[in-house]
C-alpha cells in the first residue's frame, strides 16, 4: 500500500496560489458545452474530476481545445450534443455525474452513465424521480436509487412544477436547474424538503446567469425558469481558486502560527466555502481578507477556541474544522452534516475513526460529530484515506501537532488537488535563509548546513546565473527586461546533484565565470526577471527543510523563514577568498580587479529598486572575515537550533 510520511510540523507560514475551484470548473465546462458560441475558460482546475468532465464532453462530440496552461476553448453546441449514443464512465465525480445525468436525459439520445463502485453506492434517486416527473426515460441498471443509469429519448413535459428533495445532496437541484433550459419550456422546481448546502446552489445560479439564463428564486423553496431562455457564451470565464482547498491552508495558518495567505479566493468569491474563514475566526484565529485573497494566523493569545456550530452551509470545508478541533481548548461539535454520509465515503464514520487514531475522543451520530481534543497527539498514526481526497488533505493537518503522521494512499488527492502535499510542504517546511554579498561564503556554508541537517538546498544565485547564460546563448541583451524575463520564466534548467544543466548541456562551470556573475547581477536587477523566478524558488521548500542562499531569501522569497542569517565579510577578505578560489581552479586572477569588481557588484545588488541586498531586522549578522568555514557553519547551525523547533 502506498503511503506518505509527514514529518512532525511545528509552524505554518507562507503563500499559496490555489488551484481552480472544482465546483466552478465542472459547471462552467458543462454550461460552455451547452451554450451557443465559443467560451474561453482560464484557470480551470486540472484534476481527476475535471478530466472526467472534459473527457465526457469530448465523447459527446463537444470540441474542446487547450489554448494555454489550464485554459481551454469550448465550442458550444447550442444545447444539442452531437453524439446521440454513448457510454460514459464518470469515476467518482459527483459534479460530473449528476449534472450530466440531467442534461443527457433531455438530450434525446441513448446513454449509459457509470462510475467506480463507490459512485454506485451514492444515491441519485431524488434526481431520477425529478427527471421522471417531466417524462424523462431514466432507468437503473443495477440497484434502484443508485447508478449506473441508462437514458433514452423521451418527450419532455414541463406542465407541472417538479417536486424534488433537497436534503440528501444539493447537486440534484443543481443538475435540474442547469438542464431545464435545454427544453426551451418554462420550468418550475419546488423543494419537497429543506435544501442543504445552499451556497452551492448560489454558485449554480450565478454561473447560469453568466451564461445568460436567469432563474427566479422564491426563498429556497421554489425556482422558476421562464420559457425560451438559452445558454449564450459570455466569451471568457476565469475560474476562481477553490475555496474548499483554501480551508487546509487557512487552518494550517490558524494552527501553526501563520500567516498563511491563499490567493485566488477572497471577499468577492461566489463560493460558499469562503465562510470557512468565519468559522476559523470564531475559533479565535486572526483572519484578514481582500477581494481575491485570505490570510490566517493563530490567535494572538492562547489556543484555538472550542466551538459548537451548524455547518450545513459548508459541508466540505467543515471537514477541515473537525481536524482543527484537535487543536482547540475544549470539545468541538459539528452539527447538521448528515450529507457527509453519502460523499466519497461515509465521512462521519471515517473522520471519527481517523481522529481517534491521533488521540481524540470522538462521538458520532447520524448528522453530527463531536471531537474532544487530546492533551497531546498520538505520534505515528497511520491515517486511512478511504479513496477520499478530503480525508487525506484534512488529516495532514494533524502533523502540525508536532507528531509524525503517515497518510495511506495519498494519491487520492488527485481528485481535486494533485500537488497538494508539495504545496502543503511549501507552507510548513522550515527554512534557513542565508543572504549576503558575493564571496562572503554563503554557498559554502549553506551546503554544509544542509548536509548536516539533511535539508534541501537552494542556490538562488545559480538561477540568475543560468538566466544570464541562457540570454547570452539566445543572443538577448542582459538589459532587455521583457525578453530576459521570458527566458527566466521558462528556464530549461535542471539540478542533478552537483551538476547543473541548461537545455540538457552541463553548465556547472560555465555559470561560475566572473562574466556570468556580472551578467547575473545585471539581470537580477530587472523586476520582471525576479518576478519570473519567484515561484520557482519557493517550490524548493520541501520537507524536512530548506537552506536557501542568495540576496533576498529572508526579505522576499522566504520572508517567513524561521532562521535568517546575513553572512558577510570585509570586501578585502572576500576578494582574497575569490582570488584563492580562482587560482585553485587554474583561472588566472589578480586581487585588485577582483576587489574592484566585488565592490561594483555589491553596489549594484544593494542599490537596485527591487529586492536589494539588505539585512532584514530579524536576521542574525554573521561577519566571517575572521572566522573559519567550520566556525561559520557552527554559528548558522546554532541559530537554526535556537529558532527552529
Ligand X SMILES: Nc1ncnc2c1ncn2[C@@H]1O[C@H](COP(=O)(O)OP(=O)(O)OP(=O)(O)O)[C@@H](O)[C@H]1O
Ligand Y SMILES: Nc1ccn([C@H]2C[C@H](O)[C@@H](COP(=O)(O)O)O2)c(=O)n1
Minimum gap (Å) between residue 44 Cβ and ligand X: 41
Is residue 524 close enough to count as binding ligand Y by CB under 6 A?
yes
Residue 20: contacted member of ligand Y, ligand X, none (CB under 5 to 8 Å, by partner type): none
Peptide bond into 565 cis (omega under 30): no
Is residue 601 close enough to count as binding ligand Y by CB under 6 A?
yes
Sequence length of the chain is 645
DSSP 8-state code for residue 40: E
Is residue 521 close enough to count as binding ligand Y by CB under 6 A?
yes
Q: 225 in helix, strand or coil?
A: strand
Minimum gap (Å) between residue 461 Cβ and ligand X: 5
Q: 164 in helix, strand or coil?
A: strand
- Which cell numbers in the block locate residue 349? 464514520
Exactly one of 126, 316, 549, 552 is catalytic; which is it? 316
376 is in an annotated binding site: no
Nearer to ligand Y, 316 or 552 (CB): 552
Nearer to ligand X, 413 or 632 (CB): 632
Nearer to ligand X, 88 or 573 (CB): 573
**Torsion, CA 63, CA 66, CA 70, CA 71, rounded to 10:** -70
Residues in 603-622 at the binding interface with ligand Y, rule: CB under 6 A: 605
343 is in an annotated binding site: yes
**Residue span binding ligand Y (CB under 6 A) among the ranges 146-154, 177-185, 345-353, 513-521:** 513-521
257 phi and psi angles, rounded to 5 deg: 95, -60
Is residue 49 close enough to count as binding ligand Y by CB under 6 A?
no
Angle between helices 94-105 and 125-133 in degrees, nearest 10? 20
443 is in an annotated binding site: yes
Q: In sequence order, which residues have a C-beta less than 8 Å from that of residue 534 and are 6 or more positions away?
A: 556, 557
Binding positions for ligand X, rule: CB under 6 A? 436, 438-445, 461, 577, 581, 624, 627-629, 632
Residue 520: contacted member of ligand X, ligand Y, none (CB under 5 to 8 Å, by partner type): ligand Y
Nearer to ligand Y, 323 or 433 (CB): 433
**Rounded to whole angstroms, how far apart are CA atoms 390 and 399?**
16
- What SS3 string covers 205-219? HHHHHHCCCCEEEEC
The strand ranges marked E within 219-277 are 222-225, 236-238, 257-263
Is residue 602 close enough to count as binding ligand Y by CB under 6 A?
no
Is residue 540 close enough to count as binding ligand Y by CB under 6 A?
no
The H helix count followed by the E strand count for the chain is 20, 31
Is residue 558 close enough to count as binding ligand Y by CB under 6 A?
no
Question: Is 273 considered catalytic here?
Answer: no
**Residue span binding ligand Y (CB under 6 A) among the ranges 162-170, 327-335, 368-376, 517-525:** 517-525
Closest among 256, 206, 258, 261 to 234, alpha carbons compared: 206
Beta bridge partners, 506, equal 501
235 is in an annotated binding site: no
**Rounded to whole angstroms, how far apart are CA atoms 90 and 414?**
15
Nearer to ligand Y, 25 or 555 (CB): 555
**8 A C-beta contact, residue 322 and residue 300:** no
Site string for ligand Y, 136-175 (x = CB under 6 A): ----------------------------------------
The strand ranges marked E within 27-155 are 36-42, 63-68, 71-77, 85-89, 110-114, 137-140, 149-152
**8 A C-beta contact, residue 563 and residue 431:** yes
Binding positions are: 22-23, 27, 94, 122, 169-171, 197, 316, 343, 347, 390, 415, 436-444
Binding positions for phosphoenolpyruvate are: 22, 94, 122, 171, 347, 390, 415
Q: Which residues bind ligand Y (CB under 6 A)?
A: 438, 460-461, 464-465, 517, 520-521, 524, 550-552, 601, 605
* Residues with catalytic function: 316
Binding positions for ATP are: 436-444
Amino acid at each position: 500500500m502506498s503511503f506518505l510520511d509527514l514529518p512532525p510540523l511545528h509552524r505554518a507560514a507562507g503563500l499559496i496560489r490555489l488551484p481552480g475551484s472544482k465546483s466552478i470548473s465542472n459547471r462552467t465546462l458543462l454550461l460552455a458545452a451547452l451554450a451557443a458560441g465559443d467560451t474561453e475558460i482560464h484557470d480551470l482546475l486540472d484534476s481527476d474530476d475535471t478530466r472526467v468532465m472534459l473527457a465526457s464532453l469530448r465523447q459527446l462530440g463537444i470540441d474542446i481545445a487547450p489554448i494555454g496552461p489550464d485554459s481551454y476553448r469550448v465550442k458550444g453546441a447550442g444545447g444539442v450534443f452531437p453524439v446521440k449514443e454513448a457510454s460514459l464512465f464518470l469515476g467518482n465525480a459527483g459534479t460530473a455525474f449528476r449534472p450530466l445525468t440531467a442534461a443527457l436525459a433531455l438530450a434525446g439520445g441513448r446513454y449509459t452513465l457509470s462510475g467506480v463502485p463507490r459512485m454506485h453506492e451514492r444515491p441519485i434517486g431524488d434526481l431520477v424521480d425529478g427527471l421522471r416527473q417531466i417524462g424523462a426515460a431514466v432507468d437503473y441498471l443495477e440497484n434502484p436509487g443508485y447508478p449506473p443509469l441508462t437514458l433514452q429519448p423521451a418527450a419532455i413535459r414541463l406542465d407541472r412544477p417538479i417536486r424534488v428533495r433537497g436534503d440528501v445532496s444539493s447537486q440534484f437541484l443543481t443538475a435540474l436547474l442547469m438542464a431545464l433550459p435545454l427544453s426551451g419550456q418554462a420550468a418550475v422546481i419546488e423543494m419537497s424538503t429543506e435544501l442543504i448546502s445552499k451556497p452551492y446552489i448560489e454558485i449554480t445560479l450565478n454561473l447560469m446567469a453568466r451564461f445568460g439564463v436567469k432563474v427566479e428564486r422564491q426563498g429556497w423553496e421554489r425556482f422558476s425558469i421562464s420559457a425560451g431562455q438559452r445558454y449564450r457564451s459570455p466569451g471568457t470565464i476565469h475560474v476562481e481558486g477553490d475555496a474548499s482547498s483554501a480551508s487546509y491552508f487557512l487552518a494550517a495558518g490558524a494552527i501553526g502560527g501563520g500567516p498563511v495567505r491563499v490567493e485566488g479566493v477572497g471577499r468577492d468569491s461566489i463560493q460558499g466555502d469562503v465562510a470557512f474563514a468565519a468559522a476559523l475566526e470564531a475559533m479565535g484565529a486572526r483572519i484578514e481578507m481582500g477581494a481575491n485573497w485570505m490570510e490566517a494566523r493563530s490567535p494572538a493569545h492562547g489556543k484555538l477556541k472550542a466551538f459548537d456550530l451548524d455547518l450545513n452551509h459548508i459541508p466540505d470545508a467543515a471537514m477541515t474544522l473537525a481536524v482543527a478541533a484537535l487543536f482547540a481548548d475544549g470539545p468541538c461539535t459539528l452539527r447538521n452534516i448528515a450529507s457527509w454520509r453519502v460523499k466519497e465515503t461515509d465521512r462521519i464514520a471515517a473522520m471519527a475513526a481517523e481522529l481517534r487514531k491521533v488521540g481524540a475522543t470522538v462521538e458520532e451520530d447520524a448528522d453530527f460529530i463531536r471531537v474532544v481534543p487530546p492533551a497531546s497527539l498520538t505520534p505515528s498514526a497511520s491515517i486511512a484515506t478511504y479513496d477520499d481526497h478530503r480525508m487525506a488533505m484534512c488529516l495532514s493537518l494533524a502533523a502540525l501537532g508536532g507528531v509524525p503522521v503517515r497518510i495511506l494512499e495519498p494519491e487520492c488527492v488527485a481528485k481535486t488537488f494533485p500537488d497538494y502535499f508539495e504545496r502543503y510542504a511549501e507552507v510548513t517546511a522550515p527554512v534557513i535563509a542565508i543572504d549576503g554579498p558575493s564571496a562572503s561564503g554563503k554557498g559554502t556554508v549553506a551546503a554544509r548546513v544542509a548536509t548536516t541537517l539533511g535539508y534541501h538546498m537552494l542556490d538562488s544565485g545559480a538561477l540568475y546565473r543560468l538566466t544570464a547564460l541562457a540570454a547570452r546563448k539566445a543572443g538577448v541583451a542582459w538589459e532587455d527586461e521583457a525578453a530576459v524575463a521570458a527566458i527566466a520564466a521558462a528556464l530549461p534548467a535542471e539540478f542533478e546533484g552537483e551538476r547543473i544543466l541548461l537545455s540538457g548541456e552541463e553548465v556547472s562551470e560555465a555559470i561560475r565565470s566572473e562574466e556570468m556573475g556580472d551578467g547575473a547581477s545585471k539581470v537580477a536587477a530587472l523586476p520582471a526577471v525576479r518576478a519570473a523566478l519567484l515561484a520557482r524558488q519557493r517550490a524548493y521548500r520541501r520537507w524536512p527543510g530548506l537552506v536557501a542562499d542568495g540576496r533576498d531569501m529572508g526579505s522576499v522569497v522566504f520572508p517567513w523563514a524561521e532562521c535568517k542569517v546575513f553572512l558577510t565579510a570585509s570586501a578585502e577578505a572576500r576578494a582574497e577568498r575569490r582570488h584563492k578560489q580562482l587560482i585553485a581552479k587554474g583561472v588566472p586572477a589578480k586581487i585588485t580587479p577582483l576587489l574592484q569588481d566585488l565592490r561594483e557588484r555589491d553596489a549594484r545588488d544593494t542599490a537596485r529598486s527591487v529586492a536589494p541586498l539588505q539585512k532584514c531586522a530579524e536576521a542574525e549578522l554573521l561577519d566571517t572575515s575572521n572566522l573559519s568555514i567550520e566556525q561559520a557553519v557552527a554559528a548558522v547551525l546554532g541559530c537554526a537550533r535556537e529558532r527552529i523547533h
